[in-house]
Amino acid sequence: MSFPGHRQEPGGLDDKLKGIRLLPYFFTQPPPGNQFYEIDAYPFVDCLRQLTEMVERGLDSRQIFDSGGPTRLVDVLLCTHVASFSEPRLANEGNLAHGPYCFRSSWPGAAAAAGLYLHTVLGIWNAGDPIDRLLHHRVLLILKRDIEAREKMGHRCIGQFWKMFLGALSVARSLPMVRDDSQDTDMLPELYAWYCGSLERWCKRERVIWWTSARAVLRQVVWPVASCHEPLAEALWKDATKST
């Protein structure tokens, strides 16, 4: 059985068959002691760039779905998850054409960042409505753990900055909705302070002084030309870097 949308979108049947092929992986536990490896997160970035372009062109949700973009993103999500169980064949294989290690990531970190970008920046995940509180906390903590691990490894690439900024922006959007008596009050401000601190350290190391420069760095990964959240994003960056 195929839903009409999957029959209409480009490559819909092919993507469905790929999904069927990957289905057994959901029921197979990894071997004991199995190690998780970094993935090349460029396929995530490429899909997000395509979706960003569609949003900027003013396509509605139905048109975006019919384009096959969301289905390709799900396919990337599944294929890279499977790849995270496999040792890379070459240490420098994957994304040299896109800049050394700029898009290397753990799979959970890449998936969390992609989800926050779809929700916080494009507003197409959960139709832009607030994410469930516990799920939001979980995603932010997964992303935080990924950033911390890569900082310890000495990674200072633009992908790190993009992840930090997404985490901070997602928290900044949620803080005004937190009630004083909410259980959120302890965690979100703490997470906001951590993400802002990470941004400040990165910008000092890389000598990124102005918001226009920071925005250009985000654009090197994926970021819209214009966004309704631009004032919040600029205010967040100034708050994090203590600039005026």
Q: What are phi and psi of 105, to 5 degrees?
A: -165, 160
Residue 156's domain comprises: 7-24+37-241
| Predicted local confidence at residue 209, as pLDDT | 86
| Predicted local confidence at residue 227, as pLDDT | 80
Residue 43 covered by a domain: yes
**Tally: H helices and E strands in the chain:** 11, 2
For the chain, what is the domain count? Answer: 1
Residue 30 covered by a domain: no
| Predicted local confidence at residue 90, as pLDDT | 43
Q: How far apart are CA 118 and CA 115, in angstroms?
A: 5
Residue 90 covered by a domain: yes
Residue 31 covered by a domain: no
| Predicted local confidence at residue 95, as pLDDT | 42
Block residue for tokens 């760039």? 49
pLDDT per residue as tens digits for the range 122-133: 988 887 788 888
Residue 32 covered by a domain: no
Q: Which residues does the chain have with pLDDT short of 70? A: 1-16, 18-19, 22-23, 25-28, 30-31, 88-102, 177-186, 243-244
Residue 1 covered by a domain: no
Residue 162 covered by a domain: yes
Q: Where are the alpha helices (DSSP H) in 57-132?
A: 61-66, 69-83, 107-116
Residue 204 covered by a domain: yes
